[in-house]
Each structure stands twice: as structure tokens, then as C-alpha cells.
Amino acid sequence: MEKEVVDYQKIIRSKYRKLLRLAEKRGGDKEDLSLIRKAYKVSADAHKGVFRKSGEPYITHPLEVALIVSEEIGLGPKSIAAALLHDVVEDSEYTNDQISHMFGESIAYIVSGLTKIQGIFDNQSSSMQVENFRKLLLSISDDVRVILIKMADRLHNMRTLEDVHYAKQLKTASETLYIFAPLAHRMGLYYIKSEFEDLGLKYTEQDVYKEIAEKLDDFEQNDSDYLKRFSSDIYSLLSSEAFDFSIKTRTKGIFSIRRKMINQGISFEEVYDKYALRILLDAGPKREKGEIWRAYSIITSVFKANPRRLRDWITSPKANGYESLHITVMGPEGHWIEIQIRSNRMDLEAERGYAAHWRYKEDDSGNTALDEWLSTIRENIENQEGNALDFVDKFKLQLFSEEIFAFTPQGKMLTLPKHSTPIDFAFEIHTDLGMKILGAKANGKLVPLSYELQSGDQIQILSSDSQTPNEQWINWAVTPKARTTIRHFIKNEEKKSVDRGERLLRRVMKKAKFDWNQSRVQRMLNHFGINAPSDLYSRFGSGKYHGEHIRNFIQEESGSFYQYLRKRFKPKASKLRDVSIDSGRIVFGPDSVILDHDMSECCRPIQNDPIFGFIEDDGIKVHRTDCPEAINLQGRFAEKVIVAQWAKNASGDFNATLKFSGVDSSGLLLKVSQVISNEMNMDIISLHINGSEGVFSGTISVSVSDRRQLSQLATNLRSIKGIDIVEREVNKVK
């Protein structure tokens, strides 16, 4: 059978024409269309004769990125042109000066920003170290269109990820979940954030993704009639009250469903908000809030609402501008249904977030919420120092955090991350005030510095010129500005303690007529059980260690040092290890090299599990790709991840644990034992079942030869009447 010949030129022409139609539909004039045509010609010339892994001409990629930028994010002609040109300087002989000459400084600046951050993500041998991450954040703070186009670029790469090899799939997907999804969330691009998460899950936990996708498809087919009936009821109800509106159905993402199942310990069937109705009201800015609350009142007068599930982002929008009213009501036949009520304007901004600021003509008018966020990014970068990964982690957490609103005594409203304390509030007002905070009053009452601010609190900060931060403040503060400033102060104080402690020890040793040299410092470290000289000096400089500690050491130095060593370091039996059995099961890298390694305790890989290697200080650890730690390790430490696979002739037994639960019934334990011992002839290591009020949960540890055998056991256990859920157990990450 001959392979079908694909007419790529026809596909390219179709995409190009669609791009022009979209620009024209959004109000693009002749000058705008001419700009896009010119950018396309330059891009087509730069990428002529270059092909993607899929065999497509490379020009299809910048075309798809430009379509995402225009159609899904809603940016204007300059951004579309920059999207078409985003790889030109990186991959051809065109220079940024030439781009500037042909297209102007604005577009050249965006292309330059995209070129600078290209290596952050595309170089497989590097991880996101602090300078690279700073470049990414600086590109946002200078012109947010740079990261929006980069998101479109990443989105198309994720959509075509099946064309690259497995190791690259895993790295790209992990990276997307680690940084791009949180950025999309913080910028209000919820549709793109959801797709990033779903596609990321598809390649990091393939079996989980496939299982939920299939269940979601079955659920949609079975319940589509119910949703149509309920939607029709809502439509009739609102129509009778003369609303001008439309209704859409929103499907919860596969990643979001999986996260809810894990966080709440529930099954797929127990996730009741898989679908939601979105009511879009056609009302002007002056009437929209009143119409939303009127619709809410009418709906809840007929359908009982769950008060714990009310989310009011109409009265207090999120910091990224998101406005919507979310309610959950009891529909017919006892089903909880989520309803989202918003205006058409709110829906547009909810879908496109900050990107809505640049749509159409990409004017330079102000956007207060956006400007404040960009200002926060710049401030965080300026204040950043110290551990790179800590900086990345803290910033990423802030991207996903919810906001609260608190007021100064004068009535000024401040937006802060959820869980903020008076320390964060004080630093938000001014750094000097934060450094001198002594206490606080919330709504007129004294509260501790660890008090968690609530939306609507009015906060008065009490300060003293003699007050200084201490280490406990870091545990209470949550904003990067407060934590970084406090840590900087403490670090300086520690440096002073180190210098003071070293001077003290030198002086005392000289007085005791002992030489001060590296050997003596090492013996002192051994005596106190400390690893680093700086820690030793700090303890003496801060007063934690005092004269008695020094006298004890001097006494030891005077005659009993070797006895001390024999007492402290007793001979230990060496740990024997059969490297030929364990290490030969797994090979590493493209050349299948055998390396000494250990199986990770957090996920306990077994034969044929998809795996990867991770280089730690004490050796190589092998993890499953669906390990709870996998996204964290591969997103943060890409340079420490190595390709691993099971050797072709590997054999041996593995211990694995399954969790199962369901409805308790007579003889259940016997049936489980028979399936394992009689039907599958497997050895049971341990079996535990707990039952209460008609339901049970349990774990069973067995010895298996490979993943296939464990999967068959899980299938056989599910066939036992009363057992609903059977899952592979992994250790929780602390």
C-alpha cells in the first residue's frame, strides 16, 4: 500500500490565507495586512528547505504560532508579524538589525526578546538556572507580548510533541507543567493553561491520561442528554425574565480532574463538576454586575445553591483581572452542577487575560492591573539573590496563589497572596516599615505577626526603630519581597557573626598557645559535629556557643584527642551489594551503559515501568516517570536527569504495593487471597484491610516479575465484586 502524499504547499497556503482573514476580520487595515504579508515572506525565505521532525516544512510552525497568537490569544498585527519571525534570527542569517530596518524597532524588540530566551528551554543540557529565569521574567516586565508569543510557540510544540523522541517529550512536558502552566494561569489565559496541563499529563503520565480521557468520553456520552435538558431549563428560566444572553458548556480539564481526585481522595465518578454551564450576559459595563446578580437570584430561587461553593470574583476580581460569579446548584435527579455567570466582556478577558490589552491596534494605553503586576516582577528581580531554585520555586508558587484584599487605616486597598501576614502587608506599604514591624492590629484588635490576613481586614502596623527581623519572620512571610528582604538582612547578620566568631576563636587559641591552622579547625569541627567552618564561627559569634565549649575542646586537644576519635568513629560493617544483579537490570543513555544505581523509595519502579535516572550527591536514583517527584525533578534539575531503560534480558523479582477499596462484603479477604495465590501463583508479602460502616480500604504487597504482571493482578482484583478502585501505591512526598 502506497503512502499517501501530503500536499504541504496547499496546507501552507490555507493557513496563510486564514491568518490574513483573521487579521482583516479584527479590523486590520491595508497597512496591517501588508506588514503580515511581508513578515510571512521573510519567514518563508529564512526557513526554506528546512523541515520539522514530522516531515512538514518548517514554515508551518511559525504559521501555526501566528494563528494561535491571533485567533486564541487575540493579539494584533505587530504580534502576528513577530510570531511569524520568532525563529528567523535564531535559525537563519538574518540579523536583528535587519529585522529592525525592515519591520521597525517595536517588532525587532519582540523578536530579540524571543531569541534571547530561546536557549532557556530548547537546550536539553541546561536547567532553568537563575539567570535564564531572570531573562524570562525580564522579557515579561519589558514587553509582555514576548512571553505571550513564547507561550503560543510552546503550545504548538506541545500539540505536535508526538513527533519527537520519548526523552524530549518527557523533558518538554515536565517543563511546561513546571513553569508555562503557572504563567498562563497568572496571566489569565485559562484555556491555554488548561491545555498545557492536559498535554503535559498526556506525556508525563500516559496511562493516567488515557484512563481519565476514556472515562470522560464515556461520561459525556451518557450524560449529554441530562446536560442538554438542564441547559434548556436554565435557558427558559432566563428567557422568561427578558435577559439577553447565551449559554456554553465548559468541560473540566483532564489534569484538573486528576488533581481533584488526588487532593480529595475521590474517584472519577465523585468529581461532580466535570462539566459546567457558562452563562454569558450581553450587558454594558454599567449594567453587567447588576444583571449578573439578578440572574444569580433567579437561578437560585429555583435551584438550591451550595453556599460553600460560591466564588464571587465580581465584587473582588482576581489580581489578573478575572471577573466571574461561580455557583454550584442542585439540578434535577440529584446532580450538582456548576454555573458560571459573567458578561461577554468578562468572558473575553477571562479567555485572553492580559492579552486583551493588546488586541486589535495594540495601543499603548494604560492597564493598571497589568502595570502593577509587571512592577511586582521587576521588584522581585531586583531583590532576588541567593539560591536560584528557591527563587524559582517561590515565584512559581506566587503565580498560582489566590489573592486576598486588605485595607490600610486610610482605606487604601492592597492586593496580597492568600495566607499573607501583617509582615507582608507592612512590606507591601514600604520596605522600611516592614523591617521595623513590631506588631499589628486587625480591625482594631491586636494580632500576632503570624496572623493570616482575611479579605476585608483593615490592618494597622505598629513599628519601632529598635526592631529588626529574625529568622522566624521568614516562616511567617509569603511574598517574595518580604522574604527576600528579611533573608538578605539575616544573611548580613550571619556574616557579621561568622567574622566575629572567627576572630574570637583565633584569639582564644593563641592565648592557649595553640596554632591556628586547617588541621586544628577540622578537629574542632569533628569535636562539635559541624560540617562547615562558617557554621562553627557563627555559633560562637552569635553567642550560641560560649567559653565552656571552648574549654572542653582545649582539654581534648591537650591529651585525649585520639581516644575521642576512636569513640566518635566506631568501625562499621561494610554494606555488601550484588552489583551484577541489581545494576544490570537498567541501562542508561543512548549507548545502554551499565551504572551503579538505587531504586527510588518514593515510587519503587518495577520491570517495564517507564523510568528515568536522577543524579544525586550519593549516586543515581531511578524513578518512574509518573512518580510524585517526577515533574519537580525534571522541571527544576534537567541537567541531573538521564535517560534510563530496562535491559532487554533483565530479570528478577520486585516488591510492589496496590491500594484497593470498595464496598465491604463477606469473604472478601479470602477472594483476594485466592486471586493472588491460586489464580496468579504470586507470593503475598503483606495484606491489610480496614473496614468501617460498610466500606473498606486496603493495601497488598506482592512479589512480581514486571509491570505487566502487576497490571494483570490489578485487573483481576477489580473483577472481584465489591472492589471499585485498585491503584498502584506511591509514597507521599514530604
> Which H or E element spans position 183?
helix 181-186
Distances (CA, A) of 631 to 165, 209, 216, 618: 18, 15, 24, 21
Measured at the alpha carbon of residue 74, what is the angle toward residues 164 and 352, in degrees to the nearest 5?
85
CA dihedral sign of residues 437, 439, 442, 444: negative
Alpha-helix runs per DSSP H in 26-129:
30-46, 60-67, 77-84, 88-91, 96-103, 105-122
- For residue 259 the three cell numbers come to 488533581
- For residue 329 the three cell numbers come to 446548584
CA dihedral sign of residues 371, 376, 377, 379: positive
DSSP letter string, 317-336: --TT----EEEEEE-GGG-E
Phi/psi of residue 508, nearest 5 degrees: -65, -45
Distance, in Å, from the CA atom of 696 to the CA atom of 694, rounded to the nearest integer, reads 7
Measured at the alpha carbon of residue 133, what is the angle toward residues 132 and 134, in degrees to the nearest 5?
90
Catalytic residue among 24, 71, 90, 351: 90
393: annotated active-site residue = no
Provide the angle, in degrees to the nearest 10, between the axes of the packed helices 288-302 and 206-239: 90
The region that residue 361 occupies, defined by phi over 0 for left and psi between -120 and 50 for alpha, beta otherwise, is alpha
Could you list the beta-strand ranges (E) of 397-469.
403-407, 413-417, 437-442, 445-447, 459-463
Distance, in Å, from the CA atom of 620 to the CA atom of 7, rounded to the nearest integer, reads 48
- For residue 594 the three cell numbers come to 551499565
Distance, in Å, from the CA atom of 133 to the CA atom of 182, rounded to the nearest integer, reads 14
Whether 702 contacts 734, CB under 8 Å: no
Phi/psi of residue 39, nearest 5 degrees: -65, -40
Catalytic residue among 24, 56, 71, 91: 91
Distance, in Å, from the CA atom of 420 to the CA atom of 318, rounded to the nearest integer, reads 16
- Amino acid at the residue 454: Q
Measured at the alpha carbon of residue 396, what is the angle toward residues 391 and 398, in degrees to the nearest 5?
100
Strand order in the sheet with 336-343: 245-251, 275-281, 336-343, 325-330, 311-312
Strand partners for 621: 598, 614
Residues 6+ apart with CB under 8 A from 282: 244, 245, 246, 343, 344
In this structure, what DSSP letter does residue 455 have? T
Distance, in Å, from the CA atom of 463 to the CA atom of 100, rounded to the nearest integer, reads 52
Distance, in Å, from the CA atom of 722 to the CA atom of 694, rounded to the nearest integer, reads 10
207: annotated active-site residue = no
Distances (CA, A) of 604 to 5, 255, 499, 543: 46, 23, 46, 46
Burial 602-628 (b: 16+ CB within 10 A, else e): bbbbbbbbbbbbbeeeeebbbbbbbbe
For residue 70, give the 3-state DSSP assignment: helix
Distance, in Å, from the CA atom of 83 to the CA atom of 61, rounded to the nearest integer, reads 10
Residues with catalytic roles: 90-91
